[in-house]
């Protein structure tokens, strides 16, 4: 099978949706398929970021047309909004199967952005309603409606797209993100039993409002002040150490580590000796960082947002708290710090959950989706 994977970002294996795209392609190649990527890296150099975003569908349509004319592609797997121009122009007889993949539905993120702006935690540019809060949402909806198959990474997004955006339920399916083989079946380090032994909390996320920093940081401040044996690591913040430290009491900053960027394959080593994953996200498709953390033996404290709800079960393999609830985050962390047997139970159950999500298995399941869509398309001719 000849597969084109597209993503409206630079193809960075160490970041979220681009990393998912890269890992899927690597697994497809291992299974004997031909894979090509198309991303911002393929666009003319020195384009402004907004121009890249707005022109990407046109550039991609031209590229798919060239491949189609040479019969060099069977399936186009495009992230939301990428292929809407191609979808409007294509001729169904000889065109490749078009898959639109949502890494987290932009309409849900938009609603959360509006709420954060209302609460004063996010400043939206005057331009926001015109593109990200307007035309971009139209692009996404059209790319989902016009696809032969739309893939969603959680049930809430799928149902929203069907009920609100007019996506055909018969052409919509769920997919999951995976975990690299190197992260599976790692050695599990038991939780230290002594009450005064160090407990380490990790946050793997960019330091932005959508990841819940306005609610997680105040809870961590109180926990660090109350429990001198607790340490916190911020990994992949995408910002300077000073920006993070400025949000914490001076007396606790020496127990905070900030790693603005890291290579994905180094994550198990970075998380060695950590016990809790705090993830107070407000909007999430299906978090790779959450899956990586539980594979490394961390018990998650996360929100009842659609992505985490696909995997986590409250009191079994993690603790679920309402979004925007600082007190609930604080209480959940305190319970895990003070109840070591409970922390050990959640860690082990989360670790066991992670073992079901290898990228190899995810890739094979997704190829089955492709094959079904190809058969249906050929059968309709």
Please tell me whether residues 200 and 215 are part of one structural domain. yes
170 is written with which tokens? 């018969």
Alpha-carbon distance 348 to 208, whole Å?
30
> Rounded to an integer, what distance in angstroms lies between the CA atom of residue 337 and that of residue 331?
10
Say how many Å lie between the first and final Cα of the chain, rounded: 19
Percent above pLDDT 90 for the chain: 89
Both 169 and 294 in one domain: the answer is no
Q: What is the pLDDT of residue 381?
A: 53
What's the sign of the alpha-carbon dihedral 124, 132, 206, 224?
Answer: positive
250 and 349 co-located in one domain: yes
Give the per-residue pLDDT at 15. 85
Instruction: Give the pLDDT of residue 194.
Output: 87
> Are 94 and 185 part of one and the same domain?
no
Q: Are residues 197 and 152 in the same domain?
A: no
159-182 pLDDT per residue, tens: 999 999 999 999 999 999 999 999
pLDDT of residue 12: 92
Is the predicted pLDDT of residue 232 greater than 90, yes or no? Answer: yes
Contact 362, 27 (CB under 8 A): yes
256 with 108, same domain: the answer is no
The arithmetic mean of pLDDT across residues 75-101, rounded, is 91
Domains of the chain: total = 2
Mean pLDDT of the chain: 94
Does residue 100 sit in the same domain as residue 30? Answer: yes
- Residue 129 CB coordination number (10 Å): 12
Please indicate, yes or no, whether residues 32 and 49 belong to a single structural domain of this protein. Answer: yes
- Predicted pLDDT at 94: 74
Q: Do 107 and 160 reside in the same domain of the chain?
A: yes
Q: Please say if the pLDDT value at position 229 is more than 90.
A: yes
What count of other Cβ atoms lies within 10 Å of the Cβ of residue 145? 17
Position 195 scores a pLDDT of 84
> 62 with 128, same domain?
yes
Higher pLDDT, 90 or 5: 5
The CB density around residue 9, as the number of other CB atoms within 10 Å, is 19
Residue 362 contacts residue 24 (beta carbons within 8 Å): yes
Please check whether residues 327 and 249 belong to one and the same domain: yes
Instruction: Give residue 377's pLDDT band: very low, low, confident or very high (50, 70, 90).
Output: confident
Q: Which residues contact 196 (CB under 8 A, 6 or more apart)?
A: 229
Q: Which helix (H) or strand (E) holds 99?
A: strand 97-101
- Look up the domain containing 17 and give its range: 2-178+358-379
Average confidence (pLDDT) over 52-66: 94
Question: Looking at the structure, do residues 254 and 373 belong to the same domain, yes or no?
Answer: no
Give the pLDDT score at 208: 93
CATH number of the domain bearing residue 146: 3.40.50.2000
């Amino acid at each position: 099978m000849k597969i084109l994977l597209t993503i409206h970002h630079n193809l960075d294996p160490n970041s979220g949706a681009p990393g998912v795209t890269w890992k899927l392609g690597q697994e497809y190649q291992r299974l004997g398929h031909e894979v090509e990527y198309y991303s911002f890296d393929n666009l003319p150099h020195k384009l402004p970021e907004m121009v890249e975003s707005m022109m990407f569908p046109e550039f991609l349509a031209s590229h798919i047309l060239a491949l189609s004319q040479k019969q060099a592609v069977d399936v186009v797997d495009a992230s939301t909004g990428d292929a809407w121009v191609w979808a409007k122009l294509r001729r169904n007889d000889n065109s490749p199967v078009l898959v639109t993949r949502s890494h987290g539905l932009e309409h849900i993120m938009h609603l959360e952005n509006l709420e954060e702006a209302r609460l004063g935690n996010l400043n939206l540019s005057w331009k926001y309603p015109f593109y990200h809060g307007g035309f971009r949402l139209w692009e996404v909806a059209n790319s989902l409606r016009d696809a032969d198959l739309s893939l969603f990474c959680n049930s809430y997004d799928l149902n929203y797209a069907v009920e609100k955006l007019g996506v055909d339920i018969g052409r919509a399916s769920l997919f999951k993100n995976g975990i690299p083989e190197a992260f599976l079946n790692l050695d599990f380090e038991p939780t230290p039993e002594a009450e005064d032994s160090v407990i380490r909390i990790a946050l793997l996320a960019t330091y932005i409002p959508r990841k819940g920093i306005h609610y997680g940081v105040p809870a961590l401040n109180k926990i660090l002040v109350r429990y001198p044996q607790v340490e916190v690591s911020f990994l992949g913040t995408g910002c300077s150490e000073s920006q993070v430290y400025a949000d914490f009491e001076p007396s606790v900053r020496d127990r905070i580590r900030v790693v603005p960027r890291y290579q994905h394959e180094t994550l198990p080593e970075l998380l060695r000796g950590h016990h809790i994953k705090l993830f107070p996200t407000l909007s999430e498709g299906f978090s790779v960082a959450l899956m990586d953390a539980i594979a490394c033996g961390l018990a998650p404290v996360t929100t009842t947002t659609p992505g985490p709800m696909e995997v986590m079960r409250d009191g079994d393999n993690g603790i679920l708290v309402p979004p925007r609830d600082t007190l609930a985050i604080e209480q959940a962390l305190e319970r895990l710090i003070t109840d070591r047997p409970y922390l050990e139970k959640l860690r082990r159950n989360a670790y066991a959950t992670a073992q079901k999500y290898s990228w190899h298995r995810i890739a094979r399941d997704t190829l089955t989706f492709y094959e079904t869509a190809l058969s249906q398309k050929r059968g309709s001719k």
